[in-house]
Amino acid sequence: MHSSFSRLLPCSLLSAALIAAAAPAGAQLFRPAPPAHYAWSDQSLSPDQRADMVIKEMTLDERISLLHGQGFSFGQQRPSSGTESNGGAGLTPAIPRLGIPAIQMADSAYGVTRGAFMGRYSTALTNNLGAASSWDPQAAFEYGQLIGRELRDQGYSMSLGGGVNLPREPRNGRTFEYQGEDPLLAGTLDGNVEKGVQSEHIIGDLKHYAINDQESGRNAVNANISARAMRETDLRAFEIALKISDAGGVMCSYNRVNGDFACENNYLLNDVLKRDFKFQGFVLSDWGGTHSTAKASHNGLDMEQPGETFFGDALKKAVESGEVSQAELDEHVHRILRTIFATGLFDHPVVRQVPDVDGGYAIAEKIAEKSIVLLKDSNHVLPLSASVRSIVLIGGHADKGVITGGGSAQVNPPGGNAVPPPPPAPGERFGRREEWLPDAPLQAFKARFGDSNVSYVSGDDPAAAAAAAKNADAAIVFGYQGESEGMDLKSLDLPDVQNKLIETVAAANPKTIVVLETGSPATMPWIDKVSGVIEAWFPGIRGSEALAKIVAGDVNPTGKLAITFPKSDADLPHPTLVLPPPESEPHRPAPGQNISEFMAQMQKGLPAFQVQYDEGLKVGYKWYDAEKKPVLFPFGFGLSYTTYAYSGLSVKTGDGLTVTFTVKNTGHRAGTEIAQVYTSFPESAGEPPKRLIGWARVELAPGESKPVTITVPQDRYTVYDEPSESWKLVPGSYTVMVGASSRDLPLTKSVSLQ
């Protein structure tokens, strides 16, 4: 390790460090020397000017070196390029003679990943869908800022995170990494996450562009979807996120969209992303998602990751033969260089330091408090009052920790997996790989309710759990659903015997509360039998403390669902997940196959199979509304320990809408209400019954009323017109609706828009 450390340090840095070490107490140690001065060091020039100056100095090989990765690194491999891997998922090497830094990339959806390889700590935040329940752009910014800071501390310069696919298929094993079902909410939150990342001069990223909505057969699937449906749903989320964040990277996805792979899809990359969204950064392929050289280059891919099958020597040859023009090559290079300047990475070189663990804990706890959603609270069973003397926690490994989301987003638990999985069953290659953070609800509840008042039983034996529940004042059953990249859920039902356990406990104690740790919606066949339900998501390294505070009533819950909880899988647009035929299936190496062979097989292109997204615009609540389906819990729903009343709606039209109303806290506790504004459309628009067009978080003391004004820009209620490839306002009557959730909208006002 020592020798590699010194190899990473340029001489000027080493001598600066030595001088600092000899400096008087109080002087800052290991301060980086300012980068050497180049013509493009001049910060008064634009990122584009600076990039162009560098390009003029670059050889063809140097240009090509920026356009591909160095092979699978993941902490072990030492690439031959002279730049050592920092242990992340990918990198492009530095060009020291020109002062261009390496781009060291690490997955970082809900925290910096793969710490275990290098013995590094990083803060595991509430998963992305969970944190979206805060509806809080400022919290999203802090989420991203923490990730950016910890990436920098660990020597990385680019985040691979920013997942913003809409859950067309909520059983997608990566739903936990995304921001929910509404493009305005998802785009706004993800945009703020990436803005936070980039505020630390780390390159941000949005992924997986686009329509990568299921993991099953993800390398082969062809998503069939209309342009209008894409533009108003999934692509709209990307568009909004980009506008807010100016993210430097967009990762194209594995799947095909309307016939072409996303990473060589002219419509997605050139027409929409680069032309219409005016994206200035670079497109990088998902890992192994590049399938050609000239086609991918022409159609808008800028960088292949993690290897160089198509954008290494093959690209060089294509440039030399004229198949790819010099101008096209330089455009790819320009996008990468301008991003290095625009994000400030060039001017603020990354310097490693020990992350601020306590600071990370504080942010993680605050975000968890805002993310947890109270779904049911019969007869005010919650918060548990001081008269509750004995509480039994049941199941869900609540004595050990909380579950996390897996795959490339996996943040390694500090100190190791709190619940090591059983060894794989005979014949099983991987087995269960759930990882649990060592933040036990049992400990957090004891700290808040008193040591001797809280006990735990495993739930392995439902009869024993019921007996323990009978003897307690209240029983809290922990249900969970493990989720990961590379798999889809068989069903939204809680797996194994968890539903049975909950029913058995509920029959024994009327004060049964269910806490769910899931990264996607869950069905609840026992909903009428329990008194309380709390959705805690994958709550992160301080999730248990946040949860205990909410159960005790020290924090009043504010979270509201960013995704609908349907009653059953049968109510989904695709009641049955479309599974790939065996030849399109492999998404991980076969036993005995090495990763490079597997990658080559994948990159050749597995045979396509079709998924038809005929639900089109009707994603999430738009589907259930249009189909008039009752749901378990609607989009935007969440309870509080206080109550709110809405009154006095007025809507001013003009350049956009100005929506004004009053919210009153009618209860006895201070709280924050997430007030939502939706609109319907004229019949001729062909839109689902309603669309979210704005919201506000309103903080209210008991009894307090506040006027709320929400300004709604016109682009929130235009529709995409396919023939003219543009957004249009459909003239006619619109009903603006205001209230507490997508299905609780007491205020309405009709306006005519021309």
**Site map 543..572 versus ligand BGC, x via CB under 6 A:** ------------------------------
CA dist 318 → 312, 321, 359, 592 (Å): 10, 5, 50, 34
Structure tokens at 230: 């894409």
Q: Which of 123, 349, 107, 131 is nearest to 251 (CA)?
A: 107
Q: Which residues within the stretch 291-350 sit at the binding site for ligand BGC (CB under 6 A)? A: none
Cβ-proximal residues to 587 (8 Å cutoff; 6+ apart), any chain? 215, 217, 218, 219, 486, 602
Site size toward ligand BGC (CB under 6 A) is 8
Q: Which is nearer to ligand BGC, 159 or 741 (CB)?
A: 159
Options 176, 238, 282, 287; binder of ligand BGC; rule CB under 6 A: 287
Strand order across the 90-92 sheet: 90-92, 103-107, 158-160
* CB distance 734 to 751 below 8 Å: yes
Q: How big is the chain by its Cα radius of gyration, in Å? A: 26
Q: Least distance from C-beta 214 to ligand BGC, angstroms?
A: 13
Q: Least distance from C-beta 251 to ligand BGC, angstroms?
A: 6
207 binds ligand BGC (CB under 6 A): yes
Neighbours of 37 (CB within 10 A): 9
Q: Least distance from C-beta 253 to ligand BGC, angstroms?
A: 8
Options 54, 64, 160, 492; binder of ligand BGC; rule CB under 6 A: 160
Q: Which residue has the tokens 């003397």?
A: 389
Strand partners, 741: 744
* Helix H or strand E segment including 193: helix 183-198
Name the DSSP letter for residue 685: G
Q: Which is nearer to ligand BGC, 161 or 557 (CB)?
A: 161
Q: Least distance from C-beta 113 to ligand BGC, angstroms?
A: 8
Q: Which is nearer to ligand BGC, 530 or 611 (CB)?
A: 611
Options 84, 107, 304, 673; binder of ligand BGC; rule CB under 6 A: 107
**Helix, coil or strand: residue 588:** coil
Q: Which is nearer to ligand BGC, 260 or 286 (CB)?
A: 286
Options 136, 142, 181, 286; binder of ligand BGC; rule CB under 6 A: 286
**Helix, coil or strand: residue 545:** helix
Q: Which is nearer to ligand BGC, 302 or 625 (CB)?
A: 302
Q: Least distance from C-beta 293 to ligand BGC, angstroms?
A: 21
* CB distance 504 to 465 below 8 Å: yes
**Site map 482..521 versus ligand BGC, x via CB under 6 A:** ---x------------------------------------
Q: Which residues within the stretch 450-489 sit at the binding site for ligand BGC (CB under 6 A)? A: 485
Q: Which is nearer to ligand BGC, 160 or 513 (CB)?
A: 160
* Burial annotation 159-178 (CB, 10 A radius, 16+ → b, else e): bbbbbbbbbbbbbbbbbbbb
635 binds ligand BGC (CB under 6 A): no
127 binds ligand BGC (CB under 6 A): no
According to DSSP, the β-strands at 474-480 and 512-517 are parallel
Q: Which is nearer to ligand BGC, 292 or 484 (CB)?
A: 484
Q: Which is nearer to ligand BGC, 287 or 661 (CB)?
A: 287
Q: Which is nearer to ligand BGC, 162 or 396 (CB)?
A: 162
Name the DSSP letter for residue 111: S
Strand order across the 249-252 sheet: 205-209, 249-252, 282-285
Q: Which residues within the stretch 420-449 sit at the binding site for ligand BGC (CB under 6 A)? A: none
102 binds ligand BGC (CB under 6 A): no
Q: Which is nearer to ligand BGC, 84 or 107 (CB)?
A: 107
Options 133, 198, 408, 564; binder of ligand BGC; rule CB under 6 A: 408
CA dist 509 → 460, 468, 473, 659 (Å): 18, 9, 8, 46
Q: Least distance from C-beta 126 to ligand BGC, angstroms?
A: 19
89 binds ligand BGC (CB under 6 A): yes
CA dist 285 → 291, 335, 505 (Å): 10, 14, 48
Neighbours of 725 (CB within 10 A): 12
Distance CA 371, CA 363 (A): 12
Which residues contact ligand BGC (rule: CB under 6 A)?
A: 89, 107, 160, 207, 286-287, 408, 485
